[in-house]
């Protein structure tokens, strides 16, 4: 009841002590033949104060912000509507009885490992998937009593709503949902979907009983040892397959890169050959143009490339492409034809005797 009830209870105690004191005074005064009126007055006053404040202390109801009070009328058997919220109020002792319920967030966990002092029975959830595999699930729900529905909770469950409603309801809902899924799906991609379905069904069931489900958290999902080993082997095989695919892709990319590099190198060489041929053709074209414009250019180049110590040159008479002395003479009046022995090739036959 809080501090006010304690104060009122202390006043009631003092009143009862005064009553006892008055009784003592009456006994002492009577034994001594004195007037007992003072003792009677003290005893009556103490009794009245004690009874009055005792009744008042029991009739003061203090409800904290995290609680709600359900008021039961012992005469009619009805519950006061709505339940009393936070604050201080009065209840009639004997005629009214108050039951306090928490409306703050509470949590309830269904797990394999439970506190032996709280609950000796295993609280884990177990069900069978559509393909017959045993699925063990551990979860926690976070909920609160709906303040306006506290009377309903009191009528249906009193303070036993966790053990008698929440726990068996979670078991039944979880088994129903698990039975609609394959174990492999629960283990993998559809685990979130399983949790969402359990949460939706639990929220509907709890709201119908005056409870609000805030959240449902799945901590762990486990399977039989054989199934877990089979899943593990398959996962390992899948990882190996993916690694093989990655290695094959790496080699393919590497081969494609080498192929592209070889193609690029071949194309580069071909282009270089084309460019060299074009350069040579252009050079020959320019040489041809210069020779056509200057017929004596080849003779000039020939002379320029002779060694400096050349004093005698044998020039075939039937080779008009080296030196045309007539043309040179016509082109340069000062040109004097050198005294160069000329010969027709071949001029003589070489005999074995000559070779010796």
The 10s digit of each residue's pLDDT in 134-148 is: 888 889 999 999 999
pLDDT category at 115 given cuts 50, 70, 90 is very low
Among candidate residues 102, 128, 154, the one where a domain is terminated: 102
Q: Which residues make beta-bridge pairs with 73?
A: 96
Rounded distance between C-alpha atoms, residue 147 and residue 161, angstroms: 15
Domain membership flag for residue 306: yes
Same domain, residue pair 95 and 115: no
Rounded distance between C-alpha atoms, residue 92 and residue 59, angstroms: 6
- For the range 120-127, what are the long-range contacts, defined as Cβ-Cβ under 8 Å and sequence gap of 24 or more? 123/167, 125/170, 125/171, 125/174, 125/175, 126/175, 127/174, 127/175, 127/177, 127/178, 127/179
Domain membership flag for residue 245: no
Domain membership flag for residue 291: no
Structural domain that includes position 339? 297-348
Query: Rg for the chain (alpha carbons), in Å?
Result: 60
Same domain, residue pair 85 and 114: no
Among candidate residues 102, 135, 167, the one where a domain is terminated: 102
Same domain, residue pair 75 and 133: no
Among candidate residues 223, 253, 285, the one where a domain is terminated: 223
Tell me the average pLDDT of the chain: 78
Same domain, residue pair 85 and 172: no
Which pLDDT score, from 0 to 100, does residue 348 have?
41
Of residues 176 and 336, which shows the higher confidence score?
A: 176
Q: What is the pLDDT of residues 45-66, one digit of tens each?
A: 877 777 776 766 677 788 899 9
Top-confidence range, 101-115, 261-275, 307-321: 261-275
Same domain, residue pair 64 and 111: no
Number of domains in the chain: 3
Within 8 A by CB and 6+ apart from 56, the residues are: 8, 12
Whether 266 has a pLDDT exceeding 70, the answer reads yes
Whether 120 has a pLDDT exceeding 70, the answer reads no
């Amino acid at each position: 009841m809080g501090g006010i009830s304690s104060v009122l209870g202390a006043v009631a105690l003092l009143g009862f002590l005064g009553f006892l004191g008055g009784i003592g005074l009456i006994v002492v005064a009577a034994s001594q033949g004195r007037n007992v009126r003072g003792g009677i007055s003290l005893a009556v006053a103490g009794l009245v104060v004690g009874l009055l404040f005792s009744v008042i202390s029991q009739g003061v109801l203090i409800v904290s912000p995290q609680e709600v009070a359900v008021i039961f009328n012992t005469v009619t058997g009805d519950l006061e509507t709505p339940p009393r919220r936070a604050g201080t109020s009065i209840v009639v002792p004997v005629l009214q009885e108050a039951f306090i319920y928490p409306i703050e967030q509470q949590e309830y966990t269904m797990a394999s490992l439970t506190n032996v002092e709280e609950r000796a029975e295993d609280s884990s959830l177990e069900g069978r998937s559509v393909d017959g595999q045993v699925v063990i699930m551990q979860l926690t729900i976070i909920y609160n009593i709906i303040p306006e529905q506290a009377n309903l909770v009191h009528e249906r469950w009193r303070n036993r709503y966790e053990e008698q409603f929440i726990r068996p309801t979670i078991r039944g809902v979880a088994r129903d949902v698990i039975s609609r899924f394959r174990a492999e799906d629960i283990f993998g991609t559809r685990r979130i979907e399983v949790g969402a379905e359990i949460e939706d069904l639990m929220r509907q069931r709890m709201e119908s009983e005056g409870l609000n489900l805030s959240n449902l958290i799945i901590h762990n999902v486990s399977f039989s040892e054989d199934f877990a080993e089979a899943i593990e082997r398959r996962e390992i095989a899948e990882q190996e397959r993916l690694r093989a695919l990655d290695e094959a892709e790496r080699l393919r990319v590497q081969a494609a890169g080498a192929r592209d590099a070889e193609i690029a190198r071949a194309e580069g060489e071909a282009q270089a050959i084309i460019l060299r041929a074009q350069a040579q053709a252009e050079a020959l074209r320019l040489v041809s143009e210069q020779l056509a414009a200057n017929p004596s250019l080849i003779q000039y180049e020939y002379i320029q490339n002779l060694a400096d110590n050349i004093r005698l040159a044998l020039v075939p008479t039937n080779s008009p492409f080296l030196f045309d002395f007539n043309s040179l003479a016509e082109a340069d009046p000062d040109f004097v034809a050198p005294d160069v022995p000329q010969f027709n090739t071949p001029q003589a036959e070489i005999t074995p005797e000559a070779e010796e």
